[in-house]
Structure 1
Amino acid sequence: MQRILGLFLSLCTISTPAMAEEYAQGRQISALPDVLSFRERVQPINDMVTDRLDNLLPELMREADLDMWLVINREYGEDKLFYTLVPQPTFAARRTTLLVFSKQADGSVERFSVSRYPIGELYPTVWEGGTKAQQWQRLAEVIAERDPKRIGINVSEDWALADGLSVGLHKQLLKVLPGKYQERLVSAEKLVIRWLETRSQKELNVYPQAVTLARRVIAEAFSNKVITPGVTTTKDVEWYLRERFEELQLRPWFQPYVNIQRQGDKTSKDDVFIGEYNRTILPGDIIHTDVGICYLNQCTDTQEMGYVLKLHETDVPAGLKQAMATGNRWQDILTSNFKSGLTGNEILANTIKQSKAAGIVSSTYTHPLGFVGHAPGPTIGMWDNQGPTPIQGDWKLHPNTVYAIEGNIKTQLPEWDNQWIQIKLEQDAVFDGKQVWYLAGRQTQWHVIR
């Protein structure tokens, strides 16, 4: 227990403003931080969940103008949102689990479960048990007792994570509610998106740890510890990344991948992506990876670049260093356009205009991060659409939200007879309402394999 408290308190001493000066430039991750065991993670996760429910949810329910919020689940068919609301360890809902959040006159939020079982200390149950019909009738009773004017339910045509209420459960809800309360049901879409996109200060204190872990494992993989030129394949590195994360008890949210750009490959400025898979890594290759993990309920998404020195080389070619600098310049243009109240589409348009003016051939496809890797919030471009994205791209930027600063630049490499190459970068950062801070630095130098 002492180790858990020590590690958690040390994480909580990191504040976003304090990171600013250190993280303004690139950072190489030279050591692997301690990783809490599954057992040790329970306390800090539950502290963060409780803090969000006590302090963030009331604010967001006011913002969404909801008097009550229902999150209705069945065992093994849970609303994805369920896992962001309950304490650990929780593996599934029990039978039918009805969570109720009711706004009080003083602005606080009463929370409870209309279920056979309480959920830890966070959700006392207000039902003593009985038949399934009696459970649903009890839900109708507690709603009538509180007489909410606007009742949010998780249905949405446009946002997947705000559409967690199944058709069957929706029908059951309508069946037990009197007509006047049926008329008060509204989509909780705005609340759900704001709940999922917003990070608390406690979460921002630990988020750098998750990103640092991802970046350090990439540094291991893109080294001679793992890669022997002429022997190691891209698949070997992919599986090293996957198995190393599993060894550290870090959950990947997608299979890592690795690709190669090689002198002599047929490439062009018009290629959407440059790089081939399923290759043996050779001297002179440019290598790229994309990995994503989740730790302490915070998910990461990271892409970095490496270079394999040729026999006569002692350093990365100057053209590649310049290409990386161009990629960093594109990042700076993008993040300088993060302003509260701007939409994702507006940020994208500004970034494209300014990148073109700077002579940078770029593509921007940046997305929110949080409880999941592709979180709801403002979409800032898509790899296959550099124009406006309806709905998701129209969402406005809010403070205390985290993003994968993702995209690429293309340039011609002098050392490769002006062959087109691509620098694909993705680093995780928080927008604090005024500025963007990288959570564990960003790549400004190449990983070098000898």
Structure 2
Amino acid sequence: MLRRLLPLVALLAPAAPGAAQPPSRMPADAPARYHPMPPLRVQADQMQEWVAARLDRVLPALMEEYDVDMWILSMREYGEDPVFWSIVSPTTFAARRRSIYLFTRREDGTVERLALGGTSQGGLFETYRSPRPAPTGEQAELWGDEQWRLLNEIVTDRDPSNIVLNIDDTWAFADGLGAGEREALEAALGERYLERVRREPRLATDYIATRVPEMMPRYREVMETVHAIISEAFSNSVITPGETTTEDVVWWLRQKVNDLGMTAWFQPSVSVQRAGDVPTAGEVVIERGDLLWTDFGVVAQRLSTDTQHLGYVLREGETEVPAGLRACMRASNRMQEIQLEEMTPGRTGNEALRAAQRRMAAEGIEGTLYSHPIGDHGHGAGPLIGRWDAQEGVPGRGDAVIRPSTWYSIELQATVPIPEWDGRTASCRQEEEAYLDENGDRHWVLRRQEVFHLVW
């Protein structure tokens, strides 16, 4: 399998020297800083370059790898295929009345990109208009039978030996063809070409999952901003022990993200663990001696993050985190190292899970692993490496292969008895972004948390 991945590595080299940055060497205790979002127009220009790079370099390589002659995506407004957001311009917010995209592999390895309906997406696609004039005097948009007739003409002219449609019962990313849309598309193809239709979910999932190096510098800045937000949230700037509640911090996080021009892709979580019992209902007031935890994910320039960090509220007279909790974080840090080391390209997610679990058992570490891909989506396309409720492995999604040029959230928890809590256990839950570069080498996007955020 690794040999099959090698041609893609060469094609994913950045378009310009220096576009990708080397792995971060930021010290674990260095303060994170905020990176302001650039103006919207600058963001859009950068995102357009990313889409073009993926269509130019990633898609042809994948169509060759999986021997795909033609790929057809068909959708209507508000019923977009998951792939849609990875192939269109940042100024496009929905499909048109109907958008049909045809990708045809040429003999020279390049891919013809046609749009039947909608726009050229800033020159990314060759677009077809209707020969009918609109009342304004311009050409009308393709629609209805006119659209389907043209599709049949193009397919007949290109005469592909196989056609991939996005239909799959395992991967949502490769199952974007709606039921009604499928009926209309199959009727337009006709019996001759319907016989050539096959399912290849890896084309959609691997295209969505594959990153180009040009994305990393911006993603690293977003990640440092996320670290800075959490650091401020878990500080005396936001938390007053005995007064501030966990919900107060949740809504502070939401507001902060909004103020910075980003969005959250899920409602943040903030909770506490402590030596005594924690209320199971209502808002929890944060007290001294609490172990803090947050799960927090943002979206900036269509790039998703997913981060879990730990904090501690010092008791009166304390100047550092109790030794037992520090040992808990060391255990989860060690799990992070093991997990990342076992994510070898060519392995499946389930194989990486089992290999990491064997090493955890040998080192006497108790915990659970549930890492996932990230990128265009928070829970992204690609192999799952466990689930919190499926430590035996994940059939289907865990059987996908780990590939170079992909990003992951290394998500896990270590369960450790805390002597200062009379032996009561703490769950040190951490989540940090990592990536496999074009050669399959593994790195942290920014750094992983190794010291607690502190509230004094």
State TM-score, norm by structure 2.
0.91
Displacement of 1:215: 1.4
Letter of the aligned partner of 1:48 in structure 2? W
Which residue number in structure 2 is paired with residue 5 of structure 1? none
Shift of residue 169, structure 1, vs aligned partner: 0.9
Answer yes or no: is 1:224 the counterpart of 2:236.
yes
User: Secondary structure of 1:175's match?
Assistant: helix
SS at match of 2:82: coil
Contact 1:127 1:138 in 2 (8 A): no
The whole-number CA distance in structure 2 between the counterparts of 1:260 and 1:276 is 13
C-alpha spacing 1:378/1:311, structure 2 compared with 1 (3 Å): same
Contact map agreement 2:19 2:213 (CA 8 A) in 1: no
Task: Determine whether 1:183 maps to 2:183.
Answer: no
Describe how 1:354-433 pairs up with structure 2 within 5 A.
354-432=359-437, 433=439
- How many residue pairs align between the two structures? 431
- Match for residue 437 of structure 1? 443
In 1, the alpha carbon distance for the partners of 2:370 and 2:401 equals 16
- How well do the aligned residues superpose, as a CA RMSD in angstroms? 2.0
* 1:28 to partner: Cα distance: 4.1
Q: Which residue is 1:19 aligned to?
A: 23
The Cα shift of 1:204 comes to 2.4
User: 1:254 — aligned with what?
Assistant: 266
Q: 1:437 to 1:294 in 2, by over 3 A?
A: same
SS of structure 1 residue aligned to 2:128? coil
Q: Unmatched 5+ residue regions in structure 1?
A: 1-8, 267-273
- Distance change (3 Å), C-alpha of 1:277 and 1:249: farther
Q: Partner letter of residue 84 of structure 2? A: F
Label 1:419 to 1:108 Cα distance change in 2 as closer, same or farther (>3 A). Answer: same
Deviation at 1:127, TM superposition (A): 3.6
State the secondary structure of the residue aligned to 1:81: helix
After TM superposition, give the deviation of residue 111 of structure 1 in Å.
0.5
Tell me how far apart the structure 2 counterparts of residues 68 and 155 of structure 1 sit (CA, whole Å).
15
Quote the residue 1:198 is aligned against.
210
Residues 1:369 and 1:137: Cα distance change in structure 2 (over 3 Å): same
Task: Please point out which of 84, 87, 98 is paired with 1:85.
Answer: 87
**How many angstroms apart in 1 are the aligned matches of 2:442 and 2:343?**
7
Residue deviations 1:5-53 (CA, integer Å, cap 9, x gap): xxxx9x995735x225x15x63544311121233331000001001111
Query: Within 2, Cα distance between the matches of 1:414 and 1:403?
Result: 34
Matching residue of 2:108: 106
Structure 2 equivalent of residue 285 of structure 1: 290
Matches of 1:27 and 1:301, distance apart in 2: 20
SS of the residue corresponding to residue 430 of structure 1 reads: strand
CA drift at 1:252? 0.8
Q: Is the 8 A contact 2:174 2:205 kept in 1?
A: yes
User: C-alpha separation between the residues in 2 aligned to 1:116 and 1:287?
Assistant: 48
In the alignment, structure 1 residue 446 sits paired with structure 2 residue 448: no
Residue of 41, 58, 61 corresponding to 2:43 = 41
Q: How far apart are the structure 1 equivalents of 2:70 and 2:326?
A: 55
Alignment partner of 1:162 is 2:174: yes
Partner of 2:137: none
Aligned counterparts of 2:402 and 2:253: Cα–Cα separation in 1: 33
Distance 2:370 2:315 in 1: 33
Check the 8 A contact 2:324/2:420 in 1, yes or no: yes
What does residue 70 of structure 2 align with?
68
Separation in structure 2 between the aligned mates of residue 204 and residue 27 of structure 1, nearest angstrom: 22
Residue type of the alignment partner of 1:333: I
Distance 1:118 1:331, change over 3 A: closer
Match of 2:58 among 56, 59, 69: 56
Match of 2:8 in 1: none
Moved over 2 A (4+): 11-16, 25-30, 37-40, 116-120, 126-131, 274-278, 432-435
Q: Which residue of 2 aligns with 1:271?
A: none
Aligned to 1:4: none
Q: The residue matched to 1:340 in structure 2 has which SS? A: coil
Could you say which residue in structure 2 is the equivalent of 1:325?
330
Structure 2 unpaired stretches of 5+: 1-13, 131-140
Following TM superposition, by how much is the alpha carbon of 1:130 offset from its aligned partner in structure 2, in angstroms? 5.3
CA contact (8 A) 2:36 2:260 kept: no
Q: CA–CA distance in 1 between the matches of 2:175 and 2:211? A: 21
Q: Deviations over 1:242-266 (max 9, x none)?
A: 1100111111110001000011238
Specify the SS of the correspondent of 2:102. strand
Select 1:172's aligned residue among 173, 184, 190: 184
Distance 1:130 1:279, change over 3 A: closer
Q: 2:248 aligns to what?
A: 236
Query: Residue type matched to 2:389 in 1?
Result: D
Give the secondary structure class of the aligned counterpart of 1:178: helix
Comparing 203-212 with 114-123, which one deviates more in the overlay? 114-123
Are 1:336 and 2:348 matched, yes or no? no
- Greater CA deviation, 255-264 or 171-180? 171-180
Q: How does 1:122-141 map to 2 (within 5 A)?
A: 122-128=124-130, 129=141, 131-141=143-153
In structure 2, C-alpha distance between the alignment counterparts of 1:112 and 1:353, rounded to whole Å: 49
* Identical amino acids, percent of aligned pairs: 36
Contact 2:312 2:455 in 1 (8 A): yes
Distance 1:13 1:73 in 2: 38
1:311 and 2:316 equivalent?
yes
Conservation of the 8 A alpha-carbon contact between 1:234 and 1:280:
yes
1:30 is matched with: 32
Change in Cα spacing, 1:70 to 1:123, as seen in structure 2 (3 Å) is: same
Per the TM alignment, residue 201 of structure 1 is displaced from its structure 2 partner at its CA by 1.0
CA distance in 2, matches of 1:436, 1:105: 35
| One-letter amino acid matched to 2:318 | E
